[in-house]
Amino acid sequence: MMLQSIRKNLKMFAVSQRYTWLSFLIYRGQALSWAVVWMFSTAASFVSISVIYGVSPGIAGWSYYQMLALAALSNMAIGIVSYLIRPWDLIMLMRNGVFDQFLTKPYDPIALILSRSGTRASIGGVISSLAMLAYALANQGGISMPAFMTAVLLFALGTAALTMFIVTISILSYVLFKSGNYIQWLINIAGTTSNYPLQIYSIAGTVLLTVGLPVGLAAFYPAELMFAKISYPFTLGMAALSIALIMTFYRASTYLLRFYTGGGG
């Protein structure tokens, strides 16, 4: 039953991709300029890290290429999250009542949100991050295939947890203030902070960026795993934490949708 529902929602997600891409590509200049904006964040990481490693031996025992890989994972996670949800767009859909239509469709409203309210432009960030990751890993070398595959899985779970967190606070912000400019700022800050190893932000910062704003789950721990900086049991713990957060945030966001008041009136 549950599998059938997941399949049905995935099918809807795939179908809506075609149309969201079509409407994004209709204005090519605009699409290109946004994709370039997203590439800039990868370029900014590359320049910062190159300068840091140009003048110093580096941070917390991470090599130059390891640090590039970490930044690539972080930017890729933010790119994927933004592909799935843009908080301000979702809040506007709810404020002007267009969200009414989401609730009249025979699909999970959270799946509909993820299929419709993100930005296609973030693909620019994902592609440029992938290129940076490939460059970093090729130069770093010595990564075992099982570690890499497990890291990919951990990255997927972490990114899903981060996505569900953003969905939840977006709906919560709508319920509480009918506004949410600050969430985009949170995402930007999450993106920049997670370019670097979490321990530089002290224990409090590490915990916050793991459980509070779970960007660490998407970037830091997968990178640590790839470069053999954490053990498999610890990895398992992080995977379990990601799954727990995904389920909690999914339940919370579904619950919060009860407080949607609809448009007009």
Partner 1 sequence: MNNAIIVDGVVKKFKTYESYSGAAGALFGRKKKIKTALDGVSFKVKRGEILAMLGRNGSGKSTLIKMLAGVLRADGGAMTVLGLDPFKDRIRLAQQIGVVFGSTHPQLFWDLPPIDTFNYIKGMYGISESAFERKLERFIDMLSLKDVYKRQTRQLSLGERMKCEFVCSNLHSPKLVLMDEPTVGVDLPSRMAIGDAVIELRKEQKTTFVITTHVVDDIANVDRIVMLDHGKLVFDGSQEEMRSMFKKSVMVELYFSDKRRIGRYAKYGKVVVSRDDYVKLEMGPEEIKRRWFTQMLNDDAVVDYRINEPSLGFMLNQMYKKIDRDGVKDGAENG
Partner 2 sequence: MADVGAYAAAFKVNFKNMLAYKTDIALDLTFTILSSLIFVFVWAAVYYFSGAGTLDGFSLNGIIAYFIVLAGISEVTGWPKIINNMEEDMKEGGIARFLIRPMNYTTQLLLESLPVDIVFFTFGSLPIIVGVVAFGHLSVTPSALALFAALMVIAYLMINIIGFIIGSMAVYLTSVWGVANAVTWLFSLAGGGVVPLFFLPDNIARLLMLTPFAFMYYIPDTTLLGIMPASAALQSVMIGTLWVIAFAIMASLLWRKVKRDINSVGG
* Angle formed at CA 235 by CA 164 and CA 205, multiple of 5 degrees: 60
Task: Pick between residue 121 and residue 137 the one whose CB is nearest to partner 2.
Answer: 121
Among 103, 56, 91, 53, residue whose Cα is nearest residue 175: 91
Binding at 207: pick from partner 2, partner 1, none (beta carbon under 5-8 Å per type): none
The helix/strand/coil state of 254 is: helix
CA separation for the pair 121, 74 (Å, rounded): 17
Q: What residue 52 binds from partner 1, partner 2, none (CB within 5 to 8 A, per partner kind)?
A: partner 2
Smallest distance, partner 2 to C-beta of residue 123, A: 14
The reply on whether position 228 binds partner 1 by CB under 8 A is no
What's the Rg (C-alpha) of the chain?
Answer: 19
Establish if 18 lies at the interface with partner 1 (CB under 8 A).
yes
The Cα–Cα gap between 159 and 77 comes to 6
- 26 in contact with partner 1 (CB under 8 A): yes
Binding residue for partner 1, selected from 6, 10, 14, 22, defined by CB under 8 A? 22
Query: Does residue number 21 form part of the binding site for partner 1 (CB under 8 A)?
Result: yes
Task: Name the strand (E) or helix (H) holding 165.
Answer: helix 145-177
Question: SS3 helix, strand, coil % of the chain, rounded to 5?
Answer: 80, 0, 20
To partner 2, the closest distance from the beta carbon of 67 in angstroms equals 11
Q: Are 37 and 22 in contact (CB under 8 A)?
A: no
How near is the Cβ of 12 to partner 1 at its closest, in Å?
18
Are the beta carbons of 74 and 194 closer than 8 angstroms?
yes
Residue with tokens 């909690």: 248
48 binds, among partner 2, partner 1, none (CB under 5 to 8 A by kind): partner 2
Choice between 14 and 51, CB closer to partner 2 = 51
Q: Which is nearer to partner 2, 180 or 239 (CB)?
A: 180
Instruction: Report the residue number, 28 or 258, with the smaller CB distance to partner 2.
Output: 28
Our measurement of the distance from residue 232's CA atom to the centroid of its chain's CA atoms, rounded to an integer in Å, reads 23
| Pick from 125, 122, 120: nearest CA to 41 | 125
CB 189 within 8 A of CB 48: no
Q: Between 34 and 155, whose beta carbon lies closer to partner 2?
A: 34
**CA nearest neighbour of 127 among 199, 32, 247:** 32
Pick the piece of the chain touching partner 1 (CB under 8 A) from 15-23, 109-117, 128-136, 221-229: 15-23
Chain residues that interact with partner 2, rule: CB under 8 A: 27, 29-34, 36-37, 40-41, 43-44, 47-48, 51-52, 54-61, 121, 177, 179, 181-182, 185-186, 188-189, 192-193, 196, 200-201, 205
Closest CB to partner 1 among 19 and 234? 19
33 binds, among partner 2, partner 1, none (CB under 5 to 8 A by kind): partner 2
Report the residue number, 24 or 135, with the smaller CB distance to partner 1: 24
**Which of 249, 10, 245, 183 lies closest to 112, judged by CA?**
10
| Contact positions vs partner 1 (CB under 8 A) | 18, 21-22, 25-26, 28
